[in-house]
């Protein structure tokens, strides 16, 4: 830890691996001997082709997927996907199932409804303030997809296993836990993620799309979707290696470096998951053993990415966050919509950061 850097528990944009940041910095005026910054190279150049192709290749290796999945880079974040998904996959009369586990699921549902698409909310944890992940859900066999949010940054819950959907492909917003663990990819028709939590800077959205879903969207483009704008069609990206127009080159480059870090320094997703479990367990164990802090999510639904907790009073929470900031522990304030405290401990958060946080939490509690 350099003396100027803080321990960063921001929910997103959030901490990136220090080795990644240092590599970006070191090569910022001269990228790979090109004599240009990575922000100045043409997206149609060989040097950028290597960046995007390596990012795709690393994604395939890490998730163990073959050419049946298309790895795409879009812009507009997960929020644009909330619209593109129903627009591309739901034709007249077709339906999809949605599970509501909090703010981001709710936004995805609202967007599909705004578009006047026919969707069913088949389960929700709103009854207990979204503090758990619903179980034993009955899915519709004829749904085109089942939409879930794999990790809920605001309420601090996470799907630890993915449901049996009778073969209906799952479409999951994984903005806050992509590449944090291995995935049974055969369950997924599509996963998508704004990069700014686990894989890069804001402004690039990764979409991993099964070819069957792409074909479904292409059938609709032949008919009722023929007026869909080019930038909202998945095949615009899949047919041109995400370069129909200029992509967010810098964002893709940072993503490449983060995936390289996961592969080469961490050692892949199984090890990444073990590290994340160790970090999460250490923090939750401390909170559970304390009679001062209280975790807000139900035990079996707790997120390994966002640890939400409360103190005895709101005044103490305010004091806690203020003192933490002075002690170089940043980003511990809960989302403005729910209050409380939250430590976001994504892939890049180190064990050192968790230890520093626990040490501070102990010291703060003992003074009260």
Catalytic residue selected from 155, 197, 279, 333:
197
Nearer to its own copies among residue 94 and residue 202 (C-beta): 202
User: Which residue is it, tokens 């804001």?
Assistant: 202
* Residue 111 CB, nearest approach to its own copies (Å): 6
Sequence-separated (6 or more) residues with CB below 8 Å from residue 160: 133, 300, 301
Nearer to its own copies among residue 63 and residue 154 (C-beta): 154
Is 107 considered catalytic here? no
Quote the Cα angle for 115-178-157, to 5°: 80
Written as six digits, the tokens of 33 are 């001997």
Is 173 considered catalytic here? yes
* Residue 137 CB, nearest approach to its own copies (Å): 27
* Residue 65 CB, nearest approach to its own copies (Å): 25
* Residue 279 CB, nearest approach to its own copies (Å): 18
Is 197 considered catalytic here? yes
95: how many CB neighbours lie within 10 A of its CB? Answer: 14
Q: Which residues of the shown chain bind its own copies in the complex (CB under 8 A)?
A: 2, 4-6, 8, 10-16, 18, 21-22, 24-25, 28-30, 33-37, 39-44, 75-80, 82-83, 87, 111, 114-116, 194, 196, 200-204, 226-227, 229-232, 244-251, 254, 328, 330-331, 336
Nearer to its own copies among residue 35 and residue 267 (C-beta): 35
Nearer to its own copies among residue 27 and residue 281 (C-beta): 27
Where helices occur in the chain by DSSP H, the ranges are: 18-26, 46-63, 77-89, 103-114, 211-222, 234-238, 249-260, 269-289, 314-326, 351-366
Label the pairing between strands 118-124 and 146-149: unpaired
Catalytic residue selected from 144, 159, 173, 333:
173
Catalytic residue selected from 104, 144, 155, 279:
104
Residues classed as catalytic: 104, 173, 197
């Amino acid at each position: 830890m350099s003396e100027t850097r803080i321990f960063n528990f921001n929910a997103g944009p959030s901490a990136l691996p220090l080795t990644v940041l240092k590599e970006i910095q070191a090569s910022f005026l001269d990228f790979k001997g090109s004599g240009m910054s990575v922000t100045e190279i043409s997206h149609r150049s060989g040097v950028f082709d290597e960046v995007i192709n390596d990012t795709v290749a690393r994604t395939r290796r890490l998730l163990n997927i073959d050419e049946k999945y298309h790895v795409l880079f879009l812009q507009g974040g997960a929020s644009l996907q909330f619209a593109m998904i129903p627009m591309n996959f739901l034709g007249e009369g077709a339906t999809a199932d949605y599970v509501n586990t909090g703010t981001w699921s709710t936004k995805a549902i609202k967007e599909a409804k705004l578009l006047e698409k026919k969707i069913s909310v088949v389960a929700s944890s709103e009854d207990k303030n979204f503090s758990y992940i619903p179980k034993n859900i009955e899915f519709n066999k004829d749904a085109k997809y089942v939409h879930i949010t794999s990790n809920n940054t605001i309420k601090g819950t996470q799907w630890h296993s993915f449901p049996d959907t009778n073969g209906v492909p799952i479409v999951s917003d994984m903005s806050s836990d992509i590449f944090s663990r291995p995935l049974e990819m055969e369950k997924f028709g599509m996963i998508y993620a704004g990069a700014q939590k686990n894989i890069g800077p804001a402004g690039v959205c990764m979409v991993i799309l099964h070819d069957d879903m792409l074909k479904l969207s292409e059938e609709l483009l032949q008919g009722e979707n023929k007026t869909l704008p080019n930038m909202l069609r998945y095949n615009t990206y899949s047919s041109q290696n995400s370069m129909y127009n200029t992509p967010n080159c810098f964002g893709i480059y940072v993503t490449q470096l983060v995936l390289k870090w996961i592969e080469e320094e961490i050692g892949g997703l199984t090890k990444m998951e073990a590290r994340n479990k160790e970090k999460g367990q250490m923090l939750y164990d401390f909170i559970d053993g304390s009679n001062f802090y209280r975790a807000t999510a139900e035990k079996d639904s707790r997120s390994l990415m966002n640890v939400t907790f409360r103190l005895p009073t709101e005044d103490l929470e305010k004091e806690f966050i203020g003192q933490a900031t002075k002690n170089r522990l940043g980003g511990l304030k809960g989302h403005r919509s729910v209050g409380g405290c939250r430590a976001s401990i994504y892939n890049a958060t180190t064990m050192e950061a968790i230890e520093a946080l626990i040490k501070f939490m102990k010291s703060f509690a003992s003074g009260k």
